[in-house]
Structure 1
Amino acid sequence: MLTRQALDSGAYLEKFRSLPNLWTSERIEASLAETLKEQPACVNNDVWIFAYGSLMWNPMVDFDRRDVATLHEWHRSFCLSMTIGRGSPERPGRMLALEAGGHTTGLALRLTPNTMREDLKAVWIREMVLGSYRPTWAPVTLECGIHTHAIAFVANTAGEQYRTDSCISAVAPLIAAATGQIGSNAEYVFRLYDSLSQCGLHDRYIEALAGELKRLRQHPHHDSQGAPNATA
């Protein structure tokens, strides 16, 4: 599992050195600074991060409040191609992102003021190493009814990793076959499914994808090239 030490020490960035278009530390810092300048005035000085994927079970940041929340105007989508981490060049997987439209339920994390800057830098290194995401201040509604804005990492649709087809039939075989240094792609989906369930949340897309991955494990089949899909 990814650790905060790997982010702070530079070991995480080092894993991506072989890939083209790797973001430098300076570019990552500039993106963070630009995003903070765009913070809506209505949120006062609070900085919330919206967790919809691995940040739900492995946030690696200090926060003083954690609320179930609904993110408006965006929905989950495995629309980013992945060749490292939980995938490989031979069997690329898919990373989770957000695409425009609909809504998403997840967790809103309010960062602790004393460590906010260091935590944000760690989050930016984690998410922006390849520029696959676009950090966005998006409207969220906390479970208690409070309306605010949170930083959400949405898909960079102009990036090289973006793929237009993220339907279950397209991504499930890829995810079932993909594995990498961090673990299997399917494991990520199951961890997300469990995290949502533990919070009493439901996402039809994730539930359908987890169900299809379980089916593929039970009934492995051949891909279009005739090679058997891995069951991860």
Structure 2
Amino acid sequence: MLGFLEGLRGRGAGTEAGDGTEQLPSHIYSEFFAEQLQTRKETNGQCLADDKSKSLLLDSFEAEASNQVEAPAATDHDAWIFGYGSLVWKADFPYIDRRRGFVWGFKRRFYQHSIDHRGIPERPGRVVTLLPGDPNQDRVYGVAYRIAASQKAAVLDHLDYREKNGYERCSLEFHEYPVATTTPIQVIMYVATQANDSYAGNVSEVASIARQIFSSAGPSGPNREYLFNLATAMAELFPGAVDEHLEELVVNVRRHIAEDEPHLLRQAVLEEIASILREKELPEQAQAQKLEELLMRCQQPGGREWLLHGALQQRRSET
């Protein structure tokens, strides 16, 4: 980076005709940042959302009822956990059986802030919770996991910690999919109510929520990955089921990625580069080191979303 910076300045990089922008940031961006950001875009937000992974979740679901090599025997003291968000595809606890199904009378909504998984306190993401709906019409689809009695206490402690950001346990009936004629199963599920500090609500509904998902990331990964994985899981495990809120968010976030992300990333990185170069009191070696640190941050998990969030904030302040 230092040699490239010295070489450009040695050639007298100045100002591009007509637009008043410095050539130096543009050269640095093209040489070091553009390809890296494109590579991250091609891999970012993938997982179950990748078309190449289609049917892997359903195939795994049908082939393996348990995630344990030697599962404890089922007893009348076992517990069932219902997952309707990330638990659908990421059950990081031991279970001895799992079934597809739904609960009546609720709507799934991205109305909960995430500050510990898909966002951070200063840039929260959005994850799902359940709202009361029509008890005869509304269904929320998901997966119920059977937890062996001997493992129940440890699993619930784990889930209490995992869902600590505003979620509380409740109990209700779960109906199996695709045939709901069997006896309902009593399940435990975690719901974030409006009383918790991280409850966000609709806040201008889909357009605003989509922008937040598009530009958020946390310790568990990009917020968009959570959205796309949930949509893919629903499509694979529950073909024909309709979730308009989820589907509308997917359309909006994918549009942001296709139409807004390239421009916003370039704008944000150019401004960061220009800001470093304007620090005239810094020797070139220190400026080069700061530029390398910027490049590393862009490549780290959440770096893309950090840039996007800043660019969107600036856009809003200008309008």
Question: TM-score scaled to structure 1, two decimals?
Answer: 0.71
Match of 1:103 in 2: 139
Q: Tell me, yes or no, if structure 1 residue 214 matches structure 2 residue 251.
A: no
Match of 2:185 in 1: 148
Q: Which residue type is aligned with residue 101 of structure 2?
A: A
Match of 2:149 in 1: 113
**What CA distance in whole angstroms lies between the structure 2 residues aligned with 1:46 and 1:181?**
31
Deviations 1:38-62 (A, max 9, x none): xxxxxx6342111111111111222
For structure 1, list consecutive stretches of 5 or more residues without a partner in the other structure: 1-43
Match of 1:137 in 2: 171
Q: Tell me, yes or no, if structure 1 residue 161 matches structure 2 residue 198.
A: yes
**What CA distance in whole angstroms lies between the structure 2 residues aligned with 1:225 and 1:165?**
23
**What CA distance in whole angstroms lies between the structure 2 residues aligned with 1:54 and 1:149?**
20
Q: Does the 8 Å contact 1:53/1:96 carry over to 2?
A: yes
**What CA distance in whole angstroms lies between the structure 2 residues aligned with 1:87 and 1:78?**
13
Q: Which residue type is aligned with residue 212 of structure 1?
A: N
Q: Tell me, yes or no, if structure 1 residue 50 matches structure 2 residue 82.
A: yes
Identity of aligned pairs, percent?
Answer: 26
Match of 2:221 in 1: 183
Deviations 1:110-155 (A, max 9, x none): 1122212211211111112x3x112110221112433122111112
**What CA distance in whole angstroms lies between the structure 2 residues aligned with 1:181 and 1:122?**
17
For structure 2, list consecutive stretches of 5 or more residues without a partner in the other structure: 1-75, 265-310
Match of 2:231 in 1: 193
Q: Does the 8 Å contact 2:101/2:143 carry over to 1?
A: yes
Q: Does the 8 Å contact 1:72/1:138 carry over to 2?
A: no
Q: Tell me, yes or no, if structure 1 residue 205 matches structure 2 residue 242.
A: no
Q: Which residue type is aligned with residue 173 of structure 2?
A: P
Q: Which residue type is aligned with residue 76 of structure 1?
A: R
Choose between structure 1 and 2: higher helix proportion: 2
Q: Equivalent residue of 1:125, what SS?
A: helix
Q: Does the 8 Å contact 2:169/2:190 carry over to 1?
A: yes
**What CA distance in whole angstroms lies between the structure 2 residues aligned with 1:124 and 1:90?**
23
**What CA distance in whole angstroms lies between the structure 1 residues aligned with 2:161 and 2:124?**
22
Q: Equivalent residue of 1:163, what SS?
A: coil
- CA RMSD in angstroms comes to 2.2
Q: Does the 8 Å contact 2:78/2:152 carry over to 1?
A: no
**Which of structures 1 and 2 has the bigger CA Rg?**
2
**What CA distance in whole angstroms lies between the structure 1 residues aligned with 2:102 and 2:254?**
27
Choose between structure 1 and 2: higher strand proportion: 1
Number of residues paired by the alignment?
A: 183
Question: TM-score scaled to structure 2, two decimals?
Answer: 0.53
**What CA distance in whole angstroms lies between the structure 2 residues aligned with 1:188 and 1:80?**
13
Residue 227 of structure 1 deviates from its aligned partner by 5.8
Q: Which residue type is aligned with residue 178 of structure 1?
A: S
Q: Does the 8 Å contact 2:118/2:219 carry over to 1?
A: yes
Q: Does the 8 Å contact 1:98/1:153 carry over to 2?
A: no
Residue 217 of structure 1 deviates from its aligned partner by 0.5
Q: Does the 8 Å contact 1:75/1:99 carry over to 2?
A: yes
Residue 165 of structure 1 deviates from its aligned partner by 1.1
Alpha carbons of structure 1 residues 117 and 83: separation in structure 2 relative to 1, 3 Å = closer
Selected match of 1:91 from 87, 103, 123: 123
Q: Which residue type is aligned with residue 193 of structure 1?
A: A
